[in-house]
Structure 1
Amino acid sequence: MRYNLGEIWTDNKILLVCSFFVFTFLVAFFWNDIFVLVRPGERAVIYRPFSQGTDIENTYNEGLQILAPWNRMYIYDVRVQQVADEFTVLSSDGLEVKINISIRFRPQREDLGRLHKDIGPEYVEKVVKPVAQSQFRFVLGQYKPEEIYTSQGFIVQTAKQGSLAEMADRFILLDDLLLKSVTLPPPVAAAIESKLKAQQLALEFNYRIETEAKEKERKRIEAEGIRTFQDIISSGGISDSYLRFRGIQATLELAKSPNSKIIVIGGGKDGLPLILDGRNDTLATPPLPVPAEAAPAP
C-alpha cells in the first residue's frame, strides 16, 4: 500500500499543523532545560530522576550540552575562588577576639559529582566557611590576647594545615588561608599598646646608654693620646723635622681653603712659606714692595 505525501498532507493537514505548533511550543518552553551552556572555567553535573539520579562518575566540560527536558544539569565554577569571612572567637582567658580572614579554594574537578551528591551547590556556606572558622577557634583558644599579635604566622599555618585536610575529605581543595585582621577588646588593645611603647622606650634607653659608653671610651682614648703627645713634647722638645711636617700640613690645608689668598713659597727655611718661617720665634712677614720711582735703574 503506497502513500502519497500530498494525500497525507491533505487528509491530516489540521493534525500536522497542530502537532507542529505543539512541538514548537514545547521546545520553546523547555529551551533552557534542553540546551545548557557550560561557560569557561565551569563544569556540570547531571541529575537523572528516572534512572540513576546524580551521575558521580561523569562531568560535563565547557560548551553547549543537550539533554532531555526531565533531566537537570548543575553547573559549578571550578576556578580558584576567594571568599571573606568575619567571626568572633574566644581566647584562652575567655576574651572575645574578632577575626577577619580570607579563604582561597576551588572544588576538586574529578570529584565534582560526589561533591554535588554529598554536599550540594551551597558547599561554601556548608563546608568552606565552617571548617576555617572551627580551625581558627581551636587554635586561637590556646592563646592569650597579647600572644596573638606575636604568633600570627604560626596560628595561620596551623589553621591552614587543619583546614586543608578537612576540606580535602569533602572534595574541596584549599589554596590558601589568610588572616586579614585581629580586633581585640579596646581595654586589652590599649594595655598591649602601652606595653609595647614601654618596651620600645626601654630599648631606646639601652641604645643611648650603649652610645654614651662608646663615646666615653672614645674620649678616654683621645685623652690618652693627648697626654702621650704632651709627655713626648715636654721630655724632648719640638724638633725641626716635626715643625717642617706641621708646616707642610698647614700649607696643604691653606691651599684647600676657598678664600682668596697669596702664598709665597720658598721665602722661608727649607722652602716653607714665609708665614711659617721656622728661623724666628715669631711669624715672619713678607717684605714690603718697593715703589717704582725709588727702584734703581737697570
Structure 2
Amino acid sequence: MKPITILHIGLAVVTLSSCAIVRQGEVGVRRTLGKINPQTLPEGVQIFNPILTRVIKIPTRTVNLEVRAPLPSKEGLTVQSEVSILYRVEGSYAPRIVEQIGPDYAEVVILPVFRSAVADVSSRYFAKDMHTGQRADIERSIREVMMTQLKDRGFLIESVLLKSISLPAGLTKAIEDKLAAEQDAQRMQFVLDKERQEAQRRIIEAEGTRDAQRIINEGLTPMLIQFKAIEAFNKLSTSPNSKVIITNGNSPLMLSAGSVQ
C-alpha cells in the first residue's frame, strides 16, 4: 500500500510540474533546451515537459512604469519630475523579446529609451513651460520619440505622463511673482475698461440731453408759445381758487389772492 501511495504522489508532482497556467493579459513563451519557440502559448492550462522546457510568461496588458527623472531645460536648469510610462507588449513579439532582450526588458530597453527621449525633448523647452499648458506637448513629444525607437521591437507606448514637476525654488518664486503681476494688470485693465465705459455712457447721456434741448429750442416758435399761453389761460379760468393774473397777452403771471392785499 505504501509504494502505491508514493507512486501516486510522485505522479501528481510530475503532472503538476508539467503544467503552466497562462492567465488573462499574458502570453507564454516556451524555451526548450535553450531555444525559443516562435509560437506563443495562449491563455489557459499548458502542458509541457518540465525537464526540457520552461514556460516564460510575458504580460500583454498595460503596465505602469513609474520613474523619477531629472528634466534638463532649455536655459540649463534641472527640473525634477515623477513620470508614469504606460506601455504594453505586443503578444506576437513576445518570443523575439525574450530571445533578444530577455524578461527584464523594462530596465534593458524601455527605461534607457525613455531617459534619452526625455532629455532630448525637455531641452527644447524652458523650465517654466513644463509647469504650464505646454506640459501636454512635452508628454506627447516624449511618447512620439519613444515610439519611433520601440514600435518595431514589439512595444506600444500608450502615454507618458508628467505627474509632478518640482521647479528650482528661485524659479518658482519668479513664476509666482509674474502670475501675481499679470493678475494685477488684468484687474487694473478691468477697472480702466469699466471707467471708459462709464465715461462713454455719460458722454452719450449728455449728447442726448443736448440734442433734446436743441430740438425743444428749435420747436419753441412764437406761435407755439402763444398757443401754450392760451391753454394756460383756459386752465386757470376753470380753477375755483381766487387769483390775480397779470399778463402781457403772451404769457400769464399768476398771483394768489392772499399775496395781493
What's the counterpart of residue 45 of structure 1?
29
Does residue 183 (structure 1) correspond to residue 166 (structure 2)? The answer is: yes
State the distance in 2 between where 1:189 and 1:280 align: 82
Aligned residues: 230
What's the counterpart of residue 291 of structure 1?
none
Deviations 1:243-274 (A, max 9, x none): xxxxxxxxxxxxxxxxxxxxxxxxxx9xxxxx
What's the counterpart of residue 148 of structure 2?
165
State the distance in 2 between where 1:171 and 1:23 align: 45
Tell me the TM-score normalized by structure 1: 0.68
1:122, distance to aligned residue in structure 2 (A): 1.9
The percent identity for this pair of structures is 29
> Which structure is higher in strand share?
2
Does residue 36 (structure 1) correspond to residue 17 (structure 2)? The answer is: no
Q: 1:77 aligns with which of 53, 59, 71?
A: 59
Alignment of 1:245-256 (within 5 A): none
Highest RCO, 1 vs 2 (Cα 8 Å, sep ≥ 6): 2
State the distance in 2 between where 1:233 and 1:197 align: 54
Structure 1: gaps spanning 5 or more residues? 1-13, 241-268, 270-278, 286-298
State the distance in 1 between where 2:16 and 2:160 align: 38
Does the aligned pair in 1 maintain the 2:84–2:162 contact within 8 Å? Answer: yes
Deviations 1:24-81 (A, max 9, x none): 44434444430111122221001112xx6121x2010011111112111011221222
1:189 aligned partner, one-letter code: T
Deviations 1:122-174 (A, max 9, x none): 22233233322321121112322123334222212211110112222332111
Q: CA RMSD in A?
A: 3.0
State the distance in 2 between where 1:120 and 1:213 align: 71
Tell me the TM-score normalized by structure 2: 0.76
User: What secondary structure is seen at the aligned counterpart in 1 of 2:69?
Assistant: strand
1:237, distance to aligned residue in structure 2 (A): 4.4
Q: 1:117 aligns with which of 94, 99, 112?
A: 99
Does the aligned pair in 2 maintain the 1:91–1:141 contact within 8 Å? Answer: yes
State the distance in 2 between where 1:66 and 1:22 align: 23
2:215 aligned partner, one-letter code: I
What's the counterpart of residue 72 of structure 2?
90
User: What secondary structure is seen at the aligned counterpart in 1 of 2:39?
Assistant: coil
